[in-house]
Amino acid sequence: MRVLSGIQPSGKLHIGNYFGAIAQMLRLQEEHQLFAFIANYHALSGGADLKELKQNTFEVAVDFLALGIDPSKTIFWVQSQVKEVLELYWILSRYTPVGLLERAHSYKDKVAKGIAPSHALFSYPVLMAADILLYDAQKVPVGKDQIQHLEMTRDIAIKFNNEHGEIFTVPEALVEESVATVPGIDGAKMSKSYGNTIEIFMEEKALQKRCNKIVTDSTPLGEPLDPESCNVYALAVLFLDEDQKADLAERYRSGDFGYGHFKKELKELIWEHFAEAREKRQDYLDHPDEVYAILDEGARKARSIASEKMQIVRDAVGIL
């Protein structure tokens, strides 16, 4: 099965990204043909400062490779390396009613938040449809916020196919209910836009400081603590198996330990979990040419599929 996923290079990756998206991609690449790309064209649609876009794109590539995206199994590239996607975006625009785009929650939410309502922001779902249809992806793992974009992709593909025959695979969203919503240090959903993240690759001291900032209640030292209502516990269990979870919960309830102790334990869990990835990451950062070579090779494979598909699409619509 062909599975495709894109991630925007909009800043440093955090633990929410890891457990919500990356871990799932690592599992999928073992069983399916995974297409994974860094959606840098999409990054032009928001209000983000573009000064850091190039560097962020490179760093997200490094982080994905360090965390285990395996270029011998997965086709991994940067969106802008395969220009065919922009051609398809324009052609698909013909099959996209304005009313469909006007109903997009994500557009309305972003405008309500104060992001300038540019054409890029408005037509973003068409570019996402092009990403998916260009490679005939069958399944697209996404978070709940992206389900509507997948519906739009399906509508566009069906409209195109109705007019020109079965040219595009109509994709399905892969929404894993079991994937946790990871809380941030304030207990709300961890997100860059809330400033409540714990980054995957922080320096050790900064990581401990960040863990110390996790909001907890004011139970005095020496009293039993409730694991179920504790943000530190909610984060720690992401790294633990069932026995370890039970052990941690028991120690919470024993009254022998305070929150400071558990924050140190959490920092250790994070630090250890990403130890190997941290080493690999440093290695890639020291050898950027290797990273660019991997991306070029991924782009070459992606482009070969994309250019074949585009020829079929051009023929269908009569583009010389």
Active site residues: 110, 189, 192
The answer to whether 248 touches 236, Cβ cutoff 8 Å, is: yes
Residue partners of 119: CB distance under 8 A and separation at least 6: none
Q: Please tell me whether residue 12 binds ligand ADP under the rule CB under 6 A.
A: no
* Binding at 193: pick from ligand ADP, ligand TRP, none (beta carbon under 5-8 Å per type): ligand ADP
- Which C-beta is closer to ligand TRP: that of 148 or that of 212? 148
The CA distance from 165 to 170, in Å, is 12
| Residue 182 touching ligand ADP (CB under 6 A) | yes
Count of Cβ atoms closer than 10 Å to residue 261 Cβ? 14
3-state secondary structure 34-80: EEEEECCCHHHCCCCCHHHHHHHHHHHHHHHHHHCCCCCCCEEEEHH
Select the span of 6-14, 155-163, 291-299, 311-319 touching ligand ADP (CB under 6 A).
Answer: 6-14
CB 216 within 8 A of CB 186: no
Query: Can residue 53 be called a binding residue for ligand ADP (CB under 6 A)?
Result: no
Instruction: Indicate the residue whose CB is closest to ligand TRP.
Output: 6
CA distance 171 to 150: 8
Instruction: Please identify, using beta-carbon distances, which residue of 133 and 310 lies nearer to ligand TRP.
Output: 133
Residue 68 or 143 with smaller CB distance to ligand ADP: 143
Q: Is-contact 191 16, C-beta < 8 A?
A: yes
Nearer to ligand TRP, 8 or 24 (CB): 8
How far is residue 103's CA from residue 105's CA, in Å, rounded to a whole number?
6
Hey, which residues does 38 pair with through a beta bridge?
7, 78
Judged by beta carbon distances under 5 to 8 A according to partner kind, the member of ligand TRP, ligand ADP, none in contact with residue 36 is none
* Interface of this chain with ligand ADP, residues 135 to 174, rule: CB under 6 A: 143
Phi and psi (nearest 5°) for 300? -60, -45
Interacting residue with ligand ADP among 17, 40, 57, 79 (CB under 6 A): 17
C-alpha closest to that of 38 among 267, 273, 235, 294:
294
Number of residues that bind ligand ADP (CB under 6 A): 16
Q: Which is nearer to ligand TRP, 117 or 260 (CB)?
A: 117
Based on the shown chain and the rule CB under 6 A, indicate whether residue 214 belongs to the binding site for ligand ADP: no
Q: Confirm or reject binding of residue 125 to ligand ADP (CB under 6 A).
A: no
Cα dihedral angle (65, 70, 74, 79), rounded to 10 degrees?
A: 10
Residue 85 binds which entry of ligand ADP, ligand TRP, none, CB below 5-8 Å type-dependent = none
- For ligand TRP, the binding residues (CB under 6 A) are 4-6, 8, 39, 42, 128, 131-132, 140, 142, 146
DSSP assignment letter at 222: T
Identity at 164, one-letter amino acid code: H
| Residue number, 136 or 186, with CB nearest to ligand ADP | 186
Least distance to ligand ADP, CB of residue 11, Å: 7
Q: Which of 191, 212, 216, 219 binds ligand ADP (CB under 6 A)?
A: 191
Angle formed by the axes of helices 147-164 and 105-112, to 10°?
130
As measured in angstroms, the least distance from the Cβ of 193 to ligand ADP is: 6
The residue number whose beta carbon is nearest to ligand ADP equals: 20
Binding site for ligand ADP (CB under 6 A): 7-8, 10, 16-17, 19-21, 143, 181-182, 189-193
